[in-house]
A and B are shown apart, each in its own frame.
Chain A
Amino acid sequence: MKVKENISIAKNIYRLTLETVDNQQNKAYRPVPGQFLHVRISDSNQPLLRRPVSIHDYNPEKQETSLIYRLAGQGTSILAVKQAGDYLDVLGPLGNGFADPKQQAEDKIVLIGGGVGIPPLYYLAKRLVASGSRVTVLLGYQSSSEAFLIEEFTKLTETRIASVDGSIGLKGNVLQLINSGDSWDCFYAVGPKPMLKAIRDLWIDYPIEGYFSLEERMACGVGACYGCTVKLTKPDGGTASKKVCSDGPVFAFREVEL
């Protein structure tokens, strides 16, 4: 896929926009929110494995897909120097997206994102707002220098911000953005495991539908290597081992063993 743009949008945070057209692999390229692209960083063996990056936004008119990633190591450092016009070997869209909530159009939905978990929620928020849901977005960052997408979310729907150091929004974590008067029918959450655990503990006994999108170290990205599994509690109380890449990355929050 051809790189259209690859720019820094916050400290160590980059947005990569790719030209995504129908091709041999994707006879009809139509990603849904929550899916990811599996990006080969280099033509050499270094680094060897692809990097899974969730889809931040998709624009069918412009045939553009954008990804947001954090500069975190060797692979993303190589990715960060790619320029418009460069080509990247990209697989996808892979994985299953966020399930449509068992919703009425007027349902109230909350999206909760932490750090680099935030990007896929944007494409989801766009879809949900367009379908008539009432969407609240809760975003948590480390600090203002690492904050991104706030303007985009704010334009779209009600958005609340928290940061660990208090340099932007409320000082604290994303769950402190929940007010006593809030009531939602469904939530979608993406972020670090401690955040997901806190959400589960908060709502496990609460009548709310909810989904986590999980991150795990992946190799193949298509379900063949069994590298990125998560344990799920089955309805009969037993345990199942599911693949984050091909069975997920989105799972109903009550069944995931974090």
Chain B
Amino acid sequence: MSNRLEVKLGDLALKNPIMPASGCFGFGREYSKFYNLAKLGAVVVKATTLEERLGNNTPRIAETPSGMLNAIGLQNPGVEVVLNQELPWLEQFKTPIIVNVAGTMTEDYLEVTRRISASKTVRMIELNISCPNVKCGGITFGTDPKIAAELTKAVKEVSQVPVYVKLSPNVTDIVAMAQAVEAAGADGLSMINTLIGMRFDLKTRKPILANKIGGLSGPAIKPVALRMIYEVYKNVSIPIIGMGGISSAEDVAEFFLAGASAVAVGTANFVDPYIMPKIIDDLEPVLDQMGVNKISELTGEGWK
């Protein structure tokens, strides 16, 4: 029998639709101590910038009802180290590598894209225009459709691999954002990034996070992600990688119904390091229960 879990993102075939969400999996080394990363459909590494970034001050984490806030600030060793040390190590698992590219200025994005996409091991770039935790760049590219489209177009011109744009949910009209980057040449969408939020400490009477605001993730945001994917799916013709609070195979099926062609698991990795292989093992029984042969048949089914 053919592989029931295989999905396609454009020309890229994945043996299953499960990948980590960028920023929740480092560069893979940590979770490789728990299981063989070859099991995953793809690996999405942490946001990579031109220069090394040390990130924000701590506290960077605050717990919330069924979720968490983070304000890491794109800490990463910079594109040089990622290319020379992290990606060559990840290659051994022979699973597609997707690199999340971030920056503060257009030229940063372009330079990182040029270098990353020239690497033979990288199959896709996820363009991060939605990080809420850096002062310039990041989310400012992700909340104005015109600016997002311009950046997408420029990145597409220099990229040798497909470009998926990671959308911010912190906008009034997510469909307008999706359509703008599609028209600019995006090969796909990745959605949603975190929702901006806050928490306060009663003792200090100040925000818990040193950055004051942070990005909300975890099961709390799942309904928001599903709604946005559902709306966008109907209005674009490029594939969507869905994410936002996924922690079970049933959640994956829901994201497919809303319109996702593959999914990423984020915060759930922190709760259970074995969650992704577990979800992969649980997927076929869920397909059986739903009376579905291939998981790809479920994409957008919620609209029918």
Contact = CB atoms under 8 A, between A and B. Distances in A.
A258 to B, nearest CB: 11
B115 interface: no
Nearest to A40: B271
Contacts of A222: 30-31, 33, 273
Contact of B273 (A91, A229, A246): A91
Interface string A72-91: 00000000000000000101
A225 B272 CA distance: 13
A73 to B, nearest CB: 9
A47 interface: yes
A220 B273 CA distance: 8
Interface stretch (A9-17, A165-173, A211-219): A211-219
A48 B70 contact: no
A134 to B, nearest CB: 36
B277 interface: no
Given A48-B68, A48-B218, A220-B270, A228 B30 contact: no
A40 B26 CA distance: 21
Given A49-B68, A219-B68, A224 B60 contact: no
Given A224-B31, A226-B55, A246-B30, 9 more contacts: A40-B271, A49-B68, A50-B270, A217-B60, A220-B24, A225-B23, A225-B70, A225-B72, A226-B72
A203 B7 CA distance: 60
A64 B22 CA distance: 37
A32 interface: no
Q: Is the interface of B mostly helix, strand, loop or mixed?
A: loop
Given A225-B72, A241-B55, A219 B30 contact: no
A231 B54 contact: yes
In which size bucket is the chain B interface? Answer: 20 to 34
B16 interface: no
A216 B270 contact: no
Q: Is the interface of A mostly helix, strand, loop or mixed?
A: loop
A218 B26 CA distance: 15
Interface in B82-112: none
A225 B270 contact: yes
Nearest to A45: B66
Interface of B: 23-26, 29-31, 33-34, 46, 54-55, 58-68, 70, 72, 75, 218-219, 267, 269-273
A101 interface: no
B270 A49 contact: yes
A228 B66 CA distance: 20
A227 B68 CA distance: 11
19 contacts: A48-B218, A49-B63, A89-B272, A217-B58, A219-B68, A219-B270, A220-B269, A221-B270, A222-B30, A222-B273, A224-B24, A224-B26, A224-B269, A225-B24, A225-B26, A225-B270, A227-B61, A228-B58, A228-B61
A179 interface: no
Contacts of B59: 216-217
A104 interface: no
B54 A241 contact: yes
A224 B31 CA distance: 8
Contacts of B273: 91, 220, 222
A220 B30 contact: yes
A75 B252 CA distance: 28
B67 A217 contact: no
A34 to B, nearest CB: 19
A219 B26 CA distance: 13
A241 B75 contact: yes
A92 B31 CA distance: 13
Nearest to B271: A48
B271 A49 contact: yes
Nearest to B72: A226
